[in-house]
Amino acid sequence: MSDQIREKMNAALENAKKVIFGQDELLDSILAALVCEGHLLIEGMPGLGKTLSVSAMSKLCDLTFRRIQFTPDLLPSDLIGTMIYSQKNEEFSTKFGPIFTQLLLADEINRSPAKVQAALLESMQEKQVTIGEKSHKLASPFVVLATQNPIEQEGTYPLPEAQMDRFMMKIFVDYPDFEAEKSILDLNKNPLNDLEPILDTKDLIEAQDHIDKMYVDDKIKDLIINIVQATRPSNKNFIKEFEGAILAGASPRAAIWLYRISKFEAFMAGRDFVSPDDLMKIIPSVMGHRIILSYEATIDKINGRDVALRIAQSVV
């Protein structure tokens, strides 16, 4: 049964890659987010297919999908909803916002001010939203796929550390290579029209069950914890070369997601156990945005993804 689900997941990826060229890592990460029910932060310059990739995967997985464009004048109520008073009925009713969906695309999340970004916190962590005095459960799976422009661009508001930590992974989208960019020229005007659903919610839940049962040796668990703890300056395994460069290391959420996503990687590879290679593959995306670098390190163009991988290699 697990082979059938794996085949359908691979078929969905193959179909997505027929309309999205040169962004294989992004598509793989979106599927991982949907199966593991984690949130994904996607950073890259405009026009690289970030929004199209999310739209394609939502259609292939047959999920309810909403997109909201984050702007400087956006209000929290535009995202989660609000209470509206009816003079006719003389009572308040709830108007639900676009966050009530299975897959939410938060486009250019760092274009909005902090109060709107903060409105996402409860929904991302607790899978519920409070409107007025009532809390409302969100659909399952509920996944936020947020895109952001590089923070050096004008008119952007960097996400606070607490919000960054709630994202399962952070993916950097780069320009496609020559062949991939050439293939884009032959795309139809509306490439998503060529896609048909391959997976559904039931398939995603079944994949979760298989992945949850994946065997993880105690040595792999020890390795995960040692890698995460080695990013913290107070830890005995902290690498001396990064003294002064790292203000704070990765949180326990990093260990949780390394554990879950490494099982997803092993499942997609057709194995029933997790190997160190599964772990090393996802280290930069899972831990890079969780390592808080000093101002001096940022000025020196030190990258959190490179630091995370270097630390992991030293532990292994």
Q: Where in the chain is the domain with CATH 3.40.50.300?
A: 2-204
2-204 CATH, one of 3.30.565.10, 3.40.50.300, 1.10.10.10, 3.40.50.2300:
3.40.50.300
Tokens of 258: 């390394």
Q: Which residues of the chain have pLDDT under 50?
A: none
Q: How many helices (H) and strands (E) does the chain have?
A: 13, 11
The pLDDT of residue 151 is 61
Cβ neighbours of residue 141 under 8 Å, at least 6 residues apart?
34, 37, 63, 102, 103, 201, 204, 205
Q: Which amino acid, residue 4?
A: Q
CA distance 23 to 54: 11
- pTM across the whole model: 0.86
Farthest CA pair distance, the chain: 69
140-154 in b/e form (b: 16+ CB < 10 A) is: ebbbbbbbbbeeeee
CA distance 30 to 220: 24
Cβ neighbours of residue 213 under 8 Å, at least 6 residues apart?
none
Chain-centroid distance, C-alpha 9: 18
CA distance 62 to 102: 10
Q: Where in the chain is the domain with CATH 1.10.8.80?
A: 214-315
Between CA 280 and CA 141, with CA 41 as vertex, the angle to 5 degrees is 95
214-315 CATH, one of 3.30.300.160, 3.30.1280.10, 3.40.1190.20, 1.10.8.80:
1.10.8.80
CB 282 within 8 A of CB 198: no
What residues form DSSP beta bridges with 68?
106
Strands 40-43 and 143-148: parallel
